[in-house]
Amino acid sequence: MNNDQLTPNTIKYFWKKSSHRVQETNHWNNTESTTQAYTAKAAYRFINNEGLVKTTGQCVDVNSRYTLIHKCFTPRCAYRCLIFKNRRAAYVIEFINTFFMFIAISILFGYIDITYSYFVGGIWMLYPITTLLLSNSQIMERIWLRSFLPWLQMYVSICETYGFCDLCNWNRRICILGPPYLLCQFTIINSDSVFLRQNERWRITSQIITSIIFKIFILGSIRLGYIDNLHPRNFFLLTIKPTEFYLHNASLFMSKSVSMLCLLLGHLIFRFKHKDKVYSLRTHYTLRPNKEWNKINRQFRVKKKKSLTIDVKNTRSILHTFDVSLNKIF
Protein backbone atom coordinates (compact mmCIF):
# COMPACT_ATOMS: atom_id res chain seq x y z
CA MET A 1 0.00 0.00 0.00
CA ASN A 2 1.31 3.49 -0.88
CA ASN A 3 1.69 6.18 1.78
CA ASP A 4 -0.86 8.33 -0.08
CA GLN A 5 -3.53 5.69 0.58
CA LEU A 6 -3.10 5.76 4.37
CA THR A 7 -6.11 7.03 6.31
CA PRO A 8 -7.12 6.75 9.98
CA ASN A 9 -9.33 3.79 9.02
CA THR A 10 -6.48 1.91 7.38
CA ILE A 11 -4.23 2.59 10.38
CA LYS A 12 -6.93 1.21 12.68
CA TYR A 13 -7.20 -1.86 10.44
CA PHE A 14 -3.43 -2.50 10.58
CA TRP A 15 -3.30 -2.16 14.37
CA LYS A 16 -6.28 -4.49 14.80
CA LYS A 17 -4.76 -7.08 12.48
CA SER A 18 -1.41 -6.91 14.29
CA SER A 19 -3.04 -7.25 17.72
CA HIS A 20 -4.93 -10.35 16.59
CA ARG A 21 -1.72 -11.93 15.40
CA VAL A 22 -0.06 -11.18 18.70
CA GLN A 23 -2.98 -12.87 20.47
CA GLU A 24 -2.52 -15.91 18.24
CA THR A 25 1.16 -16.00 19.16
CA ASN A 26 0.33 -15.93 22.88
CA HIS A 27 -2.29 -18.65 22.38
CA TRP A 28 0.35 -20.99 20.93
CA ASN A 29 1.83 -21.54 24.36
CA ASN A 30 -1.36 -23.32 25.52
CA THR A 31 -2.00 -25.53 22.49
CA GLU A 32 0.68 -28.19 22.91
CA SER A 33 -0.44 -31.75 23.58
CA THR A 34 0.56 -33.71 26.65
CA THR A 35 3.95 -35.37 26.34
CA GLN A 36 2.75 -38.52 28.10
CA ALA A 37 0.81 -39.86 25.06
CA TYR A 38 1.27 -40.85 21.43
CA THR A 39 -0.50 -39.56 18.32
CA ALA A 40 -0.91 -41.18 14.89
CA LYS A 41 -1.38 -38.89 11.89
CA ALA A 42 -2.10 -39.83 8.29
CA ALA A 43 -1.17 -36.43 6.86
CA TYR A 44 0.94 -33.63 8.30
CA ARG A 45 3.34 -30.86 7.37
CA PHE A 46 6.98 -30.66 8.35
CA ILE A 47 10.05 -28.53 7.67
CA ASN A 48 12.92 -30.36 5.99
CA ASN A 49 16.63 -29.76 6.48
CA GLU A 50 16.61 -27.04 3.82
CA GLY A 51 13.94 -25.07 5.66
CA LEU A 52 11.19 -25.83 3.14
CA VAL A 53 7.67 -26.79 4.17
CA LYS A 54 6.72 -30.28 2.93
CA THR A 55 3.56 -32.38 3.22
CA THR A 56 3.16 -36.13 3.47
CA GLY A 57 0.11 -38.38 3.22
CA GLN A 58 -1.69 -36.04 0.83
CA CYS A 59 -2.32 -35.83 -2.91
CA VAL A 60 -2.00 -32.10 -3.46
CA ASP A 61 -2.86 -30.23 -6.68
CA VAL A 62 -3.94 -33.26 -8.71
CA ASN A 63 -4.68 -32.11 -12.24
CA SER A 64 -7.72 -33.90 -13.65
CA ARG A 65 -6.26 -33.62 -17.17
CA TYR A 66 -3.15 -35.68 -16.38
CA THR A 67 -4.68 -38.87 -17.77
CA LEU A 68 -3.18 -41.70 -19.78
CA ILE A 69 -5.08 -40.39 -22.80
CA HIS A 70 -3.00 -37.21 -22.78
CA LYS A 71 0.18 -39.28 -22.48
CA CYS A 72 -0.65 -41.74 -25.25
CA PHE A 73 -2.36 -39.50 -27.82
CA THR A 74 -2.15 -36.03 -29.28
CA PRO A 75 -4.06 -33.25 -27.48
CA ARG A 76 -6.72 -33.17 -30.20
CA CYS A 77 -7.27 -36.92 -30.08
CA ALA A 78 -7.22 -36.89 -26.28
CA TYR A 79 -9.91 -34.20 -26.24
CA ARG A 80 -12.13 -36.35 -28.45
CA CYS A 81 -11.57 -39.42 -26.28
CA LEU A 82 -12.81 -37.50 -23.25
CA ILE A 83 -16.32 -38.02 -24.64
CA PHE A 84 -16.34 -41.28 -22.68
CA LYS A 85 -16.52 -39.27 -19.45
CA ASN A 86 -19.91 -37.71 -20.15
CA ARG A 87 -23.13 -39.14 -18.75
CA ARG A 88 -24.41 -40.76 -21.94
CA ALA A 89 -21.13 -42.53 -22.59
CA ALA A 90 -21.09 -43.71 -18.97
CA TYR A 91 -24.46 -45.39 -19.42
CA VAL A 92 -23.23 -47.04 -22.63
CA ILE A 93 -20.06 -48.36 -20.99
CA GLU A 94 -21.94 -49.75 -18.01
CA PHE A 95 -24.50 -51.31 -20.35
CA ILE A 96 -21.69 -53.00 -22.31
CA ASN A 97 -20.27 -54.42 -19.08
CA THR A 98 -23.59 -55.82 -17.84
CA PHE A 99 -25.02 -56.94 -21.18
CA PHE A 100 -21.93 -58.75 -22.39
CA MET A 101 -21.53 -60.55 -19.07
CA PHE A 102 -25.06 -61.85 -19.65
CA ILE A 103 -24.07 -62.89 -23.19
CA ALA A 104 -20.97 -64.64 -21.79
CA ILE A 105 -23.15 -66.67 -19.42
CA SER A 106 -25.45 -67.57 -22.33
CA ILE A 107 -22.50 -68.82 -24.37
CA LEU A 108 -21.20 -70.76 -21.38
CA PHE A 109 -24.55 -72.54 -20.99
CA GLY A 110 -24.76 -73.24 -24.73
CA TYR A 111 -27.68 -70.93 -25.57
CA ILE A 112 -25.45 -68.99 -27.99
CA ASP A 113 -22.88 -70.50 -30.35
CA ILE A 114 -19.37 -70.57 -28.90
CA THR A 115 -17.95 -69.08 -32.11
CA TYR A 116 -19.21 -65.69 -30.90
CA SER A 117 -16.76 -65.83 -28.00
CA TYR A 118 -14.10 -63.85 -29.86
CA PHE A 119 -16.52 -61.08 -30.84
CA VAL A 120 -18.09 -60.78 -27.39
CA GLY A 121 -14.72 -60.82 -25.64
CA GLY A 122 -13.33 -58.19 -28.02
CA ILE A 123 -16.28 -55.82 -27.51
CA TRP A 124 -16.13 -56.22 -23.73
CA MET A 125 -12.47 -55.13 -23.80
CA LEU A 126 -13.71 -51.59 -24.50
CA TYR A 127 -14.84 -51.44 -20.87
CA PRO A 128 -11.43 -51.84 -19.14
CA ILE A 129 -9.59 -49.93 -21.91
CA THR A 130 -11.72 -46.78 -21.54
CA THR A 131 -11.37 -46.85 -17.75
CA LEU A 132 -7.60 -47.26 -18.04
CA LEU A 133 -7.22 -44.39 -20.52
CA LEU A 134 -9.35 -42.06 -18.37
CA SER A 135 -7.29 -42.82 -15.26
CA ASN A 136 -5.24 -40.04 -13.73
CA SER A 137 -1.54 -40.89 -13.93
CA GLN A 138 -0.73 -39.22 -10.58
CA ILE A 139 -3.41 -41.16 -8.71
CA MET A 140 -2.55 -44.42 -10.49
CA GLU A 141 1.09 -44.07 -9.48
CA ARG A 142 0.07 -43.62 -5.86
CA ILE A 143 -2.39 -46.54 -5.95
CA TRP A 144 -0.02 -49.06 -7.51
CA LEU A 145 3.32 -47.91 -6.09
CA ARG A 146 2.42 -46.83 -2.54
CA SER A 147 0.31 -49.82 -1.46
CA PHE A 148 0.51 -53.59 -1.75
CA LEU A 149 -3.26 -54.16 -1.53
CA PRO A 150 -3.94 -53.74 -5.31
CA TRP A 151 -1.21 -56.28 -6.08
CA LEU A 152 -2.69 -58.71 -3.57
CA GLN A 153 -6.10 -58.35 -5.19
CA MET A 154 -4.62 -58.93 -8.65
CA TYR A 155 -2.76 -62.02 -7.40
CA VAL A 156 -6.04 -63.52 -6.16
CA SER A 157 -7.74 -62.53 -9.42
CA ILE A 158 -4.99 -64.13 -11.55
CA CYS A 159 -5.21 -67.40 -9.60
CA GLU A 160 -8.99 -67.36 -9.94
CA THR A 161 -8.80 -66.76 -13.69
CA TYR A 162 -6.13 -69.42 -14.21
CA GLY A 163 -8.15 -71.99 -12.25
CA PHE A 164 -11.28 -71.34 -14.30
CA CYS A 165 -9.46 -71.38 -17.65
CA ASP A 166 -7.84 -74.69 -16.74
CA LEU A 167 -11.24 -76.00 -15.65
CA CYS A 168 -12.55 -75.11 -19.13
CA ASN A 169 -9.55 -76.94 -20.68
CA TRP A 170 -8.38 -73.66 -22.27
CA ASN A 171 -10.95 -73.77 -25.07
CA ARG A 172 -12.70 -70.84 -26.72
CA ARG A 173 -14.81 -70.15 -23.64
CA ILE A 174 -11.86 -68.43 -21.98
CA CYS A 175 -12.24 -65.56 -24.49
CA ILE A 176 -15.53 -64.55 -22.87
CA LEU A 177 -14.84 -65.50 -19.25
CA GLY A 178 -11.12 -64.87 -18.89
CA PRO A 179 -11.27 -61.08 -19.44
CA PRO A 180 -14.19 -60.47 -17.03
CA TYR A 181 -12.51 -62.46 -14.29
CA LEU A 182 -9.07 -60.91 -14.71
CA LEU A 183 -9.68 -57.38 -15.98
CA CYS A 184 -12.85 -56.60 -14.04
CA GLN A 185 -10.94 -56.40 -10.77
CA PHE A 186 -8.19 -54.40 -12.48
CA THR A 187 -10.84 -51.97 -13.72
CA ILE A 188 -12.46 -51.62 -10.30
CA ILE A 189 -9.09 -50.73 -8.77
CA ASN A 190 -8.33 -48.16 -11.47
CA SER A 191 -11.81 -46.63 -11.20
CA ASP A 192 -10.62 -44.72 -8.14
CA SER A 193 -8.08 -42.91 -10.32
CA VAL A 194 -10.76 -41.67 -12.73
CA PHE A 195 -11.90 -38.15 -11.90
CA LEU A 196 -15.57 -38.69 -11.03
CA ARG A 197 -17.85 -36.27 -9.25
CA GLN A 198 -19.71 -37.50 -6.22
CA ASN A 199 -22.94 -37.94 -8.19
CA GLU A 200 -21.05 -40.07 -10.75
CA ARG A 201 -19.54 -42.57 -8.32
CA TRP A 202 -22.52 -44.87 -8.83
CA ARG A 203 -20.53 -46.24 -11.77
CA ILE A 204 -17.97 -47.82 -9.44
CA THR A 205 -20.70 -49.24 -7.21
CA SER A 206 -22.51 -50.73 -10.21
CA GLN A 207 -19.26 -52.35 -11.38
CA ILE A 208 -18.78 -54.01 -8.00
CA ILE A 209 -22.38 -55.23 -7.79
CA THR A 210 -22.27 -56.64 -11.34
CA SER A 211 -19.00 -58.44 -10.62
CA ILE A 212 -20.36 -59.93 -7.37
CA ILE A 213 -23.53 -61.23 -9.07
CA PHE A 214 -21.50 -62.65 -11.97
CA LYS A 215 -19.10 -64.51 -9.66
CA ILE A 216 -21.86 -65.89 -7.43
CA PHE A 217 -23.79 -67.15 -10.47
CA ILE A 218 -20.75 -68.92 -11.95
CA LEU A 219 -19.81 -70.44 -8.58
CA GLY A 220 -23.33 -71.75 -8.04
CA SER A 221 -23.58 -73.12 -11.59
CA ILE A 222 -20.33 -75.07 -11.26
CA ARG A 223 -21.26 -76.32 -7.79
CA LEU A 224 -24.67 -77.59 -8.98
CA GLY A 225 -23.32 -79.04 -12.23
CA TYR A 226 -25.20 -76.75 -14.63
CA ILE A 227 -22.12 -76.11 -16.79
CA ASP A 228 -21.10 -78.92 -19.13
CA ASN A 229 -17.73 -79.86 -20.57
CA LEU A 230 -15.63 -79.04 -17.53
CA HIS A 231 -12.31 -80.80 -16.93
CA PRO A 232 -11.44 -81.06 -13.21
CA ARG A 233 -7.89 -82.32 -12.71
CA ASN A 234 -4.84 -82.22 -10.49
CA PHE A 235 -2.23 -79.94 -11.94
CA PHE A 236 0.28 -79.10 -9.18
CA LEU A 237 1.93 -81.45 -6.66
CA LEU A 238 1.92 -79.95 -3.15
CA THR A 239 3.25 -82.75 -0.89
CA ILE A 240 5.04 -86.06 -1.46
CA LYS A 241 4.98 -87.67 1.99
CA PRO A 242 3.15 -89.32 3.70
CA THR A 243 0.83 -89.23 0.68
CA GLU A 244 0.90 -87.29 -2.55
CA PHE A 245 -1.43 -84.32 -2.47
CA TYR A 246 -2.20 -82.18 -5.52
CA LEU A 247 -3.65 -78.74 -6.03
CA HIS A 248 -6.92 -79.18 -7.91
CA ASN A 249 -8.02 -76.64 -10.54
CA ALA A 250 -11.60 -76.63 -9.24
CA SER A 251 -10.48 -76.10 -5.64
CA LEU A 252 -8.16 -73.29 -6.76
CA PHE A 253 -10.96 -71.55 -8.65
CA MET A 254 -13.52 -71.99 -5.86
CA SER A 255 -11.22 -70.80 -3.06
CA LYS A 256 -9.97 -67.75 -4.95
CA SER A 257 -13.49 -66.82 -6.09
CA VAL A 258 -14.69 -66.86 -2.49
CA SER A 259 -11.70 -64.68 -1.54
CA MET A 260 -12.52 -62.23 -4.33
CA LEU A 261 -16.15 -62.11 -3.20
CA CYS A 262 -15.04 -61.20 0.31
CA LEU A 263 -12.79 -58.44 -1.02
CA LEU A 264 -15.56 -57.08 -3.26
CA LEU A 265 -18.11 -57.16 -0.45
CA GLY A 266 -15.72 -55.19 1.75
CA HIS A 267 -15.24 -52.70 -1.08
CA LEU A 268 -19.02 -52.42 -1.57
CA ILE A 269 -19.65 -51.79 2.14
CA PHE A 270 -16.98 -49.09 2.06
CA ARG A 271 -18.71 -47.44 -0.90
CA PHE A 272 -22.05 -47.26 0.88
CA LYS A 273 -20.54 -45.96 4.13
CA HIS A 274 -18.12 -43.44 2.60
CA LYS A 275 -19.59 -42.12 -0.64
CA ASP A 276 -17.11 -39.25 -0.90
CA LYS A 277 -13.95 -41.35 -0.40
CA VAL A 278 -11.84 -43.63 -2.57
CA TYR A 279 -11.05 -47.21 -1.59
CA SER A 280 -7.84 -48.06 -3.46
CA LEU A 281 -5.98 -44.87 -2.56
CA ARG A 282 -4.35 -45.64 0.78
CA THR A 283 -2.01 -43.86 3.13
CA HIS A 284 -0.09 -44.89 6.24
CA TYR A 285 -0.24 -43.41 9.72
CA THR A 286 2.88 -41.99 11.33
CA LEU A 287 2.99 -42.85 15.05
CA ARG A 288 5.16 -40.59 17.20
CA PRO A 289 5.22 -39.37 20.80
CA ASN A 290 3.41 -36.09 21.32
CA LYS A 291 6.76 -34.63 22.32
CA GLU A 292 7.98 -34.98 18.73
CA TRP A 293 4.72 -33.59 17.28
CA ASN A 294 5.03 -30.59 19.61
CA LYS A 295 8.57 -30.06 18.35
CA ILE A 296 7.34 -30.02 14.73
CA ASN A 297 4.54 -27.58 15.63
CA ARG A 298 7.05 -25.43 17.49
CA GLN A 299 9.17 -25.18 14.35
CA PHE A 300 6.15 -23.86 12.46
CA ARG A 301 5.42 -21.36 15.22
CA VAL A 302 8.99 -20.08 15.12
CA LYS A 303 8.82 -19.79 11.34
CA LYS A 304 5.48 -17.97 11.50
CA LYS A 305 6.66 -15.72 14.33
CA LYS A 306 9.59 -14.56 12.22
CA SER A 307 7.29 -13.69 9.34
CA LEU A 308 4.89 -11.89 11.73
CA THR A 309 7.78 -9.93 13.22
CA ILE A 310 8.76 -8.74 9.76
CA ASP A 311 5.14 -7.73 9.04
CA VAL A 312 4.90 -5.79 12.30
CA LYS A 313 8.15 -3.93 11.57
CA ASN A 314 6.92 -3.00 8.11
CA THR A 315 3.60 -1.79 9.52
CA ARG A 316 5.35 0.30 12.17
CA SER A 317 7.65 1.88 9.61
CA ILE A 318 4.64 2.89 7.53
CA LEU A 319 2.63 4.19 10.50
CA HIS A 320 5.62 6.06 11.90
CA THR A 321 5.58 8.41 8.92
CA PHE A 322 1.89 9.29 9.34
CA ASP A 323 0.64 12.04 11.68
CA VAL A 324 -2.96 11.19 12.63
CA SER A 325 -3.72 14.65 14.09
CA LEU A 326 -2.69 16.41 10.88
CA ASN A 327 -3.78 13.57 8.55
CA LYS A 328 -0.55 14.18 6.74
CA ILE A 329 2.33 12.05 5.56
CA PHE A 330 5.90 13.14 6.29
Q: Which neighbouring-strand residues pair with 300?
A: none
Q: Which neighbouring-strand residues pair with 41?
A: 286
Q: Where are the alpha helices (DSSP H) in the chain?
A: 8-27, 68-72, 75-81, 87-108, 117-124, 126-133, 137-145, 149-167, 174-190, 202-224, 249-273, 290-320
Give the type of residue at 107. Answer: I
Any residues with CB less than 8 A from the CB of 117 and at least 6 apart, and which? 107, 172, 173, 175, 176
Q: What is the pLDDT of residue 83?
A: 67
What gap in Å lies between CA 249 and CA 168, rounded to an integer? 10
User: Is residue 96 a contact partner of residue 124, using CB atoms and an 8 Å limit?
Assistant: yes
Q: What is the pLDDT of residue 74?
A: 74
What gap in Å lies between CA 265 and CA 259, rounded to an integer? 10
Q: What is the pLDDT of residue 8?
A: 66
Q: Give me the torsion for CA of 41, 43, 49, 52, rounded to 10°.
A: -150
pTM, to two decimals: 0.73
User: Is residue 253 a contact partner of residue 163, using CB atoms and an 8 Å limit?
Assistant: yes
Q: What is the pLDDT of residue 258?
A: 93
User: Is residue 152 a contact partner of residue 290, using CB atoms and an 8 Å limit?
Assistant: no
Instruction: Give me the residues of the chain with pLDDT under 50, please.
Output: 329-330
What's the pLDDT tens digit per position in 164-191? 888 988 888 888 888 888 888 888 888 8
